[in-house]
A and B are shown apart, each in its own frame.
Chain A
Amino acid sequence: MSAHAHAETHAGHPPEAHQSSRVDARTLGMFLFIASEIMLFGSFFTAYFFVRVAAGTPWPTPPYQLPVFIAGLNTIILVTSSFTMHWALQAIKRGNRAGLKAGLSLTFLLGLTFLLTQITEYARIGFAPYTDAFGTVFFCLTGLHGAHVFVGLTLLLAATIRSFRGHYSEEEHLGVEIPGIYWHFVDVMWIVVYTTVYIL
């Protein structure tokens, strides 16, 4: 029998990473990060429900109106960007570099359009975070989401630039997959925000 002894020790260095999942560690890391982000959004939604349901604040407080139609168009833009993101990843998995570049570029542009529309909406909405509890909650929730869109756009920009520089292949595309997961999370959160804050 071959001698092969390497009993685990803790002397002076951390133990080896323990593997209990068949998910790539970096992908799992993103999912765990998203789990923490869901908790963050959860705390903001708690404030929303407290203000709207427990405190009985009129939603929206008269005479203000929420731009439901524009936000609806923005929702369509953001959901479409998830489709282009998925297309980009599927393209590189099949070795289609043009599809990857087009998909990532479109996703970035659609995301940027969403963010710019939201900023424009803020400028024209007629109330401010300090107006009342409704205004505070509205800006906090949509602003928190907007910050996540900004982070997502930063990740997408990096992935897009890398794609144009010839990075990624059929085998190596984690740099697209992980921003894609984050982008879908941003979309899901917007759907929840749009449904609860704007429609219901």
Chain B
Amino acid sequence: MKNPLRSEADAFQFLIGAVIYFAAIAIAGVINTWLGLAVFIVLSAGVLWWWFRSRIEQAPRQTTSAHRGGPGERRILVIANETVGGGPLREQIEERSSGYDTEVLVVSPALNSPIRHWASDEDPAREEARRRLEASLERLRANGIEASGEVGDADPLQAIEDAVRTFGPDEIIISTHPEGRSHWLERGIVTGARERFAVPITHVVVDLDAER
């Protein structure tokens, strides 16, 4: 969620804007009722135009991740829904962690249906994500990789952002199904993540059907 107001300074600026907005309407309204209505419409349209324009023109910000731990330590963030534990992913993690004391965090986004999302009914989605996560961690452990896990936000990019801030990864691995079967690829999650995060990102395609 992007909060339009984040601090006392934002609230103060909003107050100044409100004073100007209502003063203009009140003055025009006292002169002539229709003029007051016209000023109200023009100002409201102007505010909406400015708001939409600022959202569109907002430069893509890149979230950085400061290295945590000693020089020999490495933190890898794995974002996956149900493709954790596949062979290619395990190979990537092993390759990336070679020669380092590595800490791996697997984040499983609590994917939810739009209706449940708007009804704020996310408990079943989080429970389901937790089950998938535990199964994934088990599969990784079976392959000799110790990892911790978290259930993340329903939006995969937001889940990455949260983990970047709390975990501080040195690199990110995004695991998806092959093209054509991956909703994440269809939604441009990997491209979006590369634009949004100033952290090396590796995309791993895991074909679970082929592995079975």
Question: Which A residues form the contact surface with B (CB < 8 A)?
Answer: 1-10, 15, 18-23, 27-28, 31, 79, 82, 85-86, 89, 176-178, 180-181, 184-185, 187-188, 191-192, 194-195, 199-200
Q: State whether A184 touches B15 (Cβ < 8 A).
A: yes
Interface majority SS (helix, strand, loop, mixed), chain A = helix
Q: State whether B11 touches A15 (Cβ < 8 A).
A: no
How far apart sit A85 and B153, CA to CA, in the bound complex (Å)?
Answer: 36
A-B contact pairs, 14 of them (CB 8 A): A2-B102, A4-B146, A5-B146, A7-B148, A10-B127, A18-B162, A20-B1, A21-B1, A31-B5, A85-B12, A86-B12, A180-B12, A191-B22, A199-B26
Q: State whether B8 touches A20 (Cβ < 8 A).
A: no
How far apart sit A79 and B20, CA to CA, in the bound complex (Å)?
Answer: 12
Q: How many A-B residue pairs have CB under 8 A?
A: 109
Given the interface contacts A82-B15, A177-B8, A184-B12, does A2 sit within 8 Å of B22 by beta carbon? Answer: no
Q: State whether B146 touches A1 (Cβ < 8 A).
A: yes
Binds A, one of B80-88, B129-137, B195-203: B129-137
Q: State whether B26 touches A18 (Cβ < 8 A).
A: no
Question: Which B residues form the contact surface with A (CB < 8 A)?
Answer: 1, 3, 5-9, 11-12, 14-15, 18-19, 22, 25-26, 29-30, 36, 97, 101-104, 126-127, 130, 133-134, 137, 145-151, 153, 158, 162, 165-166
Q: State whether B165 touches A19 (Cβ < 8 A).
A: yes
Given the interface contacts A1-B97, A18-B153, does A8 sit within 8 Å of B133 by beta carbon? Answer: yes
- Given A2-B103, A8-B133, A178-B8, output 12 extra A-B contacts at Cβ < 8 Å: A4-B147, A4-B148, A5-B146, A8-B149, A79-B15, A82-B12, A176-B8, A177-B8, A184-B12, A194-B22, A195-B25, A199-B29
Q: Which of A1, A15, A18, A199 contacts B30 (CB 8 A)?
A: A199
CB contacts (< 8 Å) of B8 on chain A: these are 85-86, 89, 176-178, 180-181, 184
Min C-beta distance of A81 to chain B, whole Å: 11
CB contacts (< 8 Å) of B146 on chain A: these are 1-5
Pairs A-B, 9 closest by C-beta atoms: A180-B8, A184-B11, A3-B146, A195-B22, A7-B149, A86-B12, A4-B148, A177-B8, A199-B26
